[in-house]
Amino acid sequence: MKLSDNLKQIRKENNLSQEQIAEKLGVSRQAVSKWESGQSYPEMDKVLLICKEFNYNMDELMNENVKEVKQTKESKININKYVEDFFEFITKTVNMFSCMTFKPKIKCLIEQFFIIIILVIICAIIATIGKEIISKIFGFLSYNIYHSLYSIISAIGLTLACFVSIVILLHIFKIRYLDYYEIVECEPKPTNDNEEKDNNLKTAEQNNKIFIDSKKEKIIVRDPEYSQFKFLTAIIKMVLICIKALVAFVAIFFAFSCVGLFACFVLTFLFAKTGLLFLGIILGEASAILINLMILEILYNFIISKKNKTKRLALTFIISIVLAGFGIAFGCIGIINFNYVEVVPEEELISDTYTIQTPKIKFNNYDKEYIEYVETDSNEITIEVKHTSYYTSYIIDNEELVRVICHQSNAKMMNAIRDTIKDINNKEIRNYDTRKMIVYASKENIDLIKNSK
């Protein structure tokens, strides 16, 4: 950083013109202009005068960036101020308690205790609600990922709860006690004639002071003036930063939600032939997108400390509610015209037959509701699996236990999606989960199959 740049920075920071600087230093305006442009340099006595006038040393003025120097000094001053205010807060609290009688002390401590209990209860309720929300949002993740994410969020939440609770407790204590009490030297009772006593008592009453016996050195008096402690302000700022970080995390979730809604909005045009149902879905998604954008704007304004445009947000909310209402109405009217096909014709089903020698057979739990048992006189066990073309079946024989499996085929997933879209556009909904297992075996084998684990 050149001397010329520093001189220009100092003048701008102090809101001075070149004429005013020249007057302070006893030089012409042209000289100051040449210094700032680098055409010439001030003499040593003028440099010393600049350092003295604006509180800089020569090394800072000649070799460093005075803007950064000023910020560093202000930062040190603020830190010192925070520390001083913290010790002032402690000193004032100790002095106040030392001058309080036993009853006010107990009252103050009990009040703080109950405030702590209330804060703990509130934090516990919020934690319980937060746990449920997290499980709903991230429940689809694997256990290890979910557990790690939950631990991180819990740690952040616990830290934030402690900060907020401490700030609330200190702030209530401050406005309930410290803002209204201060330590002063006791003034002795007046001993002159009655008229002087009356005048002094009136003056004391006006000043809202209570006089006690002159043997005591200090008393507590009411002081309605509000005094701000810098260290409390610093803690509040830290809490606010933590809250904004948490809000930013929530805003990220809504941002992804908004992307998903736009994707769904585009995909909805695949069902354009459904008429009123299509119109209802479009309006509903438009309503959801507007609400999502409105929430994002509110969260963004909170993070950057910007005032919300209330009228616009209110109008957006009203429009989204109206769109949602029309969307639900059109959707209900449109879906009435749909036909539901519960049973797929037998000729459309694929049949797979398996002959098994052992009754130790295992079915998946979600397949058991589709199993039908038929008694025969044969010792062989025959299993017939009927399913649509979207499913596939097979057996796994490990010599000790036979597993029969029927599930959706990943290879035919696109066919299933395409047929589903086609059916919906034809205003028809089918039972795409049609499948059935028929077990042909003797009564003894059927009992063994049912008891297999």
Asked if 280 and 332 count as a contact pair (C-beta separation under 8 A), the reply is: yes
pLDDT digits (tens, 9 = 90+) for 129-180: 888 888 878 777 777 787 888 888 888 888 888 888 888 888 888 777 776 6
pLDDT digits (tens, 9 = 90+) for 44-56: 787 778 777 777 7
Dihedral of alpha carbons 285, 288, 292, 293, sign = positive
pLDDT at 453: 54
Calculate the CA 286 to chain-centre distance. Answer: 25
pLDDT at 446: 81
pLDDT at 290: 92
Task: Find the mean pLDDT for residues 10-37.
Answer: 81
Task: Find the mean pLDDT for residues 62-81.
Answer: 59
pLDDT at 447: 83
Residue 394: pLDDT band with limits 50, 70, 90: confident
pLDDT at 283: 92
Give the DSSP H or E segment for 7. helix 3-13
Please tell me the pTM assigned to this model: 0.45
Q: Which of 163-172, 319-328, 364-373 has the highest mean pLDDT?
A: 319-328
- Provide the mean pLDDT of the chain: 76
Concatenated DSSP letters of 207-259: TT-----TT--EEEEE--S----HHHHHHHHHHHHHHHHHHHHHHHHHHHHHH
pLDDT digits (tens, 9 = 90+) for 96-108: 777 777 777 788 8
Give the least confident one: 26-30, 87-91, 178-182, 268-272.
Answer: 178-182
Tokens of 347: 């000729």
pLDDT at 289: 92
Residue 427 clears pLDDT 70, i.e. is over it: yes
Return the ∠ at Cα 376 (arms to 373 and 378), rounded to 5°.
Answer: 125
- Answer with the residue of higher pLDDT: 262 or 398: 262
Q: Phi and psi of 334, rounded to 5°? A: -70, -35
pLDDT digits (tens, 9 = 90+) for 279-296: 999 999 999 999 999 999
pLDDT at 315: 92
